[in-house]
Chains A and B, each alone.
Chain A
Amino acid sequence: MSIAIRNISKQFGAFKALDDVSMDIPSGELVALLGPSGCGKTTLLRIIAGLEYADQGQILLAGDDTSALHARDRQVGFVFQHYALFRHMSVFDNVAFGLRVKPRRDRPAEAEIRRRVKRLLELVQLDWLADRYPSQLSGGQRQRIALARALAVEPKVLLLDEPFGALDAKVRKELRRWLRQLHDEIHVTSVFVTHDQEEALEVSDRVVLINQGRVAQIGTPEAVYDHPATPFVADFLGSVNLFHGRVEDGQLRLGEHALGAADGSDGSALAFVRSHEFELLPGWAGRGGLPATIVRVVSVGPSAQIELSRTDGELVEVAIARDTFRLLGLGEGDKVSLRPRQIRVFPTEAQAA
């Protein structure tokens, strides 16, 4: 079932949580709402579910306006950040809850309920835990039970609030992949909220970046990563270095140094360079490039993380393959020139000054 969000605004006292947010989520897609904490993404998710009401705007589910529809009638599955499992019910009863509270005429027979719950527990690979209580489960298991409970009522839309937020790093990675596989299996339109860019980029079909209650950009993970539409998106995705410079004759200049080719009209600009998009050249002599001094090297994992200090004292972070770095034979205290392979430039608005 498709979701259409039309001009949603929501205010909490003086705080504008959502400001004229619109987007379309086609049927069957897995979409990530990504943004820093407090940007309004969870509020939007709760409005879609009917747990919160928008001051303005509409939510259309499969083309129908839901404004007058109570949360219990929206046929939406919701997975809460802290799972919200019923602690006094067994895992089985938790998953069966949505079926058992149906009005008598819609309620499946108890045998049918048992069959469906069993199938769902098999789907989340936890059928051996049916008689346990939530307090006896690990975080990852609770998460999957919460998902099975939400799916039991065969929702048309699945909403997940920070689904991996409370899990440790390893479990989180496994569950992420598992959720993606599950979605490919059952194909229910899904929206999940996260503040973790890696999570959003890895799992979703499309990413919606939200900043201060407004949509900053919507696109596939590749599109938003490679072509950020705003300085916020460029800054939020990946580890980036920010430069305040000027564009002159298609070159980005920082003071006297030319950094490299940059699109856009002449004038002062904000420039972003990802840490892995630098080349490192020994010495300060090279033409072009930014002179800097190596402050610190962390050489763990596939790439070396290098912290450098520019001549004006600003810090730059660079990541290059460990083997390449070893061949350069550089160490802390050495002088190098930084040459970006790719620069994203955003003209600064305060042009008049």
Chain B
Amino acid sequence: MSDKALEIKGLKTYFNTPSGVAKAVDGVSFSINRGETFALVGESGCGKSVTSLSVIQLVPEPAGFIADGEILLNGEDIISMKEADKRRIRGNKISMIFQEPMTSLNPVFTIGSQIVEPIMLHQGKTKAEAREIAIGMLAKVGLPEPGKLFSVYPHTLSGGMMQRVMIAIALACRPDLLIADEPTTALDVTIEAQILELMKELQRELGTAIMLITHNMALVYRNAEHVAVMYAGKIVETASTKTLFRNPLHPYTIQLLRAIPEMGNRDRPLETIPGSVPPATDFPDGCRFSGRCSREMAGCAAREPRPILKADGHLVSCHLYDPEFISTQASRPLHTEGKAPEPISTPPMERSPLLDVKGLKKHYPIRKGLFKRIVGYNKAVNGIDLEIRRGSTLALVGESGSGKTTAGKAIIQLIRPTTGTVRFSGNILTDLSDTELKPYKSNTQIIFQNPYSSLNPRMMIGEIIEEGIRSLKPEIPVRERKQKVRETIERVGLTEEMLRRYPHEFSGGQRQRIGIARVLAVEPEFIVCDEAVSALDVSVQAQILNLLKSIQRDFGISYLFITHDLGVVEYIADEVAVMYGGKIVERGTVEEIFKTPKHEYTKTLLNAVPRIEKGEKEYDGESAR
């Protein structure tokens, strides 16, 4: 037997769509050694998931099909196998866990019956034997009371526990390869760390190779031995993790790494990749990164780059490293190098507080019984105190369900709090009636997480941006209002002609810009950013963070930045408040919190965050040339 658990050669998986053939995976080759973790990393829409579905032979039919290539499991090609033989491999030799543990388990069957299934199917065990093994697996994945859990339905478990169950199912037959498709993206960061630790442990014990699919570079750094960076259906760079992070070569990899927000780059704008990943039906000719690449050369778009082998098995598909290409005329750089981005001066730390929150509570009644009497309260926000200064950013961090979003909405009175006071530049908002509150609404605004549900799909962009001015400043004449809308849309980096279009024509990043423009139009002093960049890919996230920072600088706006992403916090926040179970457990400046955390929860949280270590990160790409 070779030491390779899986080898993929020239895999092409295409989809027939109404707008043409989508070449989701277009000639991908890599191999995974026994017992190692191999990471496939890239932004959404790059073909990572389709690659993994191809490996387990579950490409959604009939639209999708494997057009070409070989997938060798233990040296044997599985593409050419009969369906019955493929079934014998699935769940047995190759198994898979998915991003959403909540929906990946069948809600109407017990946990036990779902684990027993592959054991009985592949190992020919009796029901009683399978039950024994299943309970053993549940114990092994660290679930309490496995015997009791066996007969429980999935909905009673938390997301983290469900993912443990999924791992138990996947590893029940001790497969050679476990495919983990964004296994922790839907989970809180502390749970994420636990799940990854568990996978590592089981990998050591069972010798399973893991194919980890993720968009999170830091996760790769922490967990994988080998890594392949995927872009637009192709692998652009592959190397051992150490090599890749020490010396990334492909401009895409470099730009991705530079776009990650963190403490070290907080005093300058993040490097961004212009535009977004093109749709799979419409990949550019030649190098697929052409058009977005900061180091594009004249001939890049004309010829497809070939993989170049550098030291230590480091493979990169980029013309920059192709000596043959570099010696031709086509290597004339398109962009002038080294245009250093203008520095942002740190916002003035004025000591005058803009917003003062005291004892804020939001309780939701729980009703039960024949007459729906109130039997208790769900204390979503249970007494928090905050101050936010003019022109500065306070980050509110915490896991999902900690009440941070409710708190944010209660502060701007979008949800009326149960008790507590919110003082906004001297006025107590919590004492005002709905009508009295209206004048303050232009001062306190909110940007939402989901760029898809935050814009009314039936309204034109112009109408969307105009709505706030119309409602809050009806005294402004129409002509001025339209002028304001035009100014605003240009301020967020979009063009005037987009005003007459509808939201579905825009990408996630553009929509988030529109969401910012809508808020900006009413000239607020304080904006709640509710996970405003969480749904975006790293490169787009960087664009939006830059925009938010420059707006803050220009207009002196204060932000309450609600997020679970500590990298974003490090980059953008001046002060941090950590929320846990409806309360704020720790407050301080960003340096205090990150350097000397005091509360236990803060420490756990900080330890759980995967990071790329300083010092090893010297990727400027220049040295390779």
Q: Do A and B bind each other?
A: no
Q: A-contacting residues of B (Cβ < 8 Å)?
A: none
Q: B-contacting residues of A (Cβ < 8 Å)?
A: none
